[in-house]
Amino acid sequence: MNYQNAFRSRVTAAAVLLAVTMPLASHAETTMVMAKPKPHHSWRERPTRTVALLDGFQAKPIQRNQYGSRMDQREESTGFFYTAQLDGRWWIIDPEGYRHINRGVVSVKIGTGPAQKEAFDHAFKSKQQWAAQTVALLRENGFTGTGSWTSDTPIQKASDGVSYCVNWNFMTTFSRGRTRRGSGHANYPGDCILVFDPGWEEFCDQHAEKNLPEFRDDPNLLGYFFDNELPLKPNMISRYLKLNERDHGYRAAAAFLQNRHGADASETDLTETDRQEFDDLVMEKYVGTVARAIRRVDANHMLLGPRLYSANTSYDVLGKYIDAFCYNLYGKWSPAKKATELANAIGKPLIVTEFYTKGMDAPGLTNDSGAGWCVPTQADRGRFYQNFCIDLIESKICVGWHWFKYQDNDPTDKTKDPSNLHSNKGILNNQYEPYSPLLSRMRELNTQVYSLADHFDQP
């Protein structure tokens, strides 16, 4: 089997009934889609916008280059991607100077689970054939790039202008042996990253010097992720003060407390200002150190930060160092409000680096792991995609999004972490067959992003 084979979903009668969508009489631009956070929860109708229902929207032909950028508007060309706010909207500017909205897919790679390996051997003659067909699939459906955890070398060899991102895992690598696997990310001792440990700054310099030189002149590279989903949540000093007294993080927090309130101070003496300033200190020692290490080696590519997934209060510190704010945005059916709050707090544009829904019609997958919504059908996954991305385009602060992910979880692969076991997250199933009802709606939106931006930019 290969990408040209139509994927024939087996949909239960119950799912068919749930998938019916009806325009709202009170809001002509929306339809209703059933959704729920987990399979055992109750279904709830969600107002959903689609391209076809947008009042007054008309697609128009806009020529695009190899990067998938619009060629009717051009800015300064630097040979690399960068961000700019123009006429009230944030854009990525591509290496040729054209305005760009990045549409990517995460984890574009050959599956390593038993079922995925067997299917690969039947579907493809070689890794090169897989890469060529994968690039064709992405292009055909309006995607312009790949996200984190992608097999970048074969994809880049098979493409001309498909952008990519590299995640260098600075803190994760530095902390190796001192973390344990969590759900989708590493768990740190006491939820405290090790920025106060001796050798952190030296490690960052060495890590950048070792790994970045071969990438610094590549125009297809969108930018660098620092890490994934670090526990950079508010009130970090309380967590550091709970560490073992020999821990460098504990010592730094205790010294901070005593410098503010004396040798006999306790945590109860801390003010909200104290707590915020310690959060800022941790963020500075993390993101500032990584950013400086990268910039010593590579002055060309965008700094995309640590792919956050939870609330943080040190956004002003983060905003000093990054070119775009990358956030794994779950739990929001319509994300415009959340996206705007994040981008405004940081002062930089947003790239949503993870989001997805799971179809209950996917054969053999229970969908009880992972953070994405459950919906009845693959077509409903596509309706969610359109609604989510329309919201992001209308916000004017989002310059891209990365769907999580390329291929479904393999339930026979017992080596994966708990969030990646048996859920329908992919644009392909485990037989490398496309979910056509999903992809057709992705394609409809992806190929009209610039017309949609113009629609929302009308005075």
Residue-level pLDDT at 425: 98
Q: Name the residue ranges covered by the structural domains of the chain.
A: 13-168+212-226+304-457
pLDDT along the chain (459 residues), means of 10: 40 34 49 97 98 95 98 97 97 98 98 95 97 98 98 96 97 92 84 97 98 98 97 96 97 98 97 98 98 98 95 93 97 95 94 98 95 97 98 98 97 85 95 98 98 96
Residue-level pLDDT at 149: 96
Q: Which CATH number fits domain 13-168+212-226+304-457: 3.20.20.80, 3.40.190.10, 3.30.70.3270, 3.40.250.10?
A: 3.20.20.80
CA dist., res. 249 & res. 242, Å (int): 10
Residue-level pLDDT at 28: 58
Q: Which pTM value belongs to this model? A: 0.93
Residue-level pLDDT at 458: 94
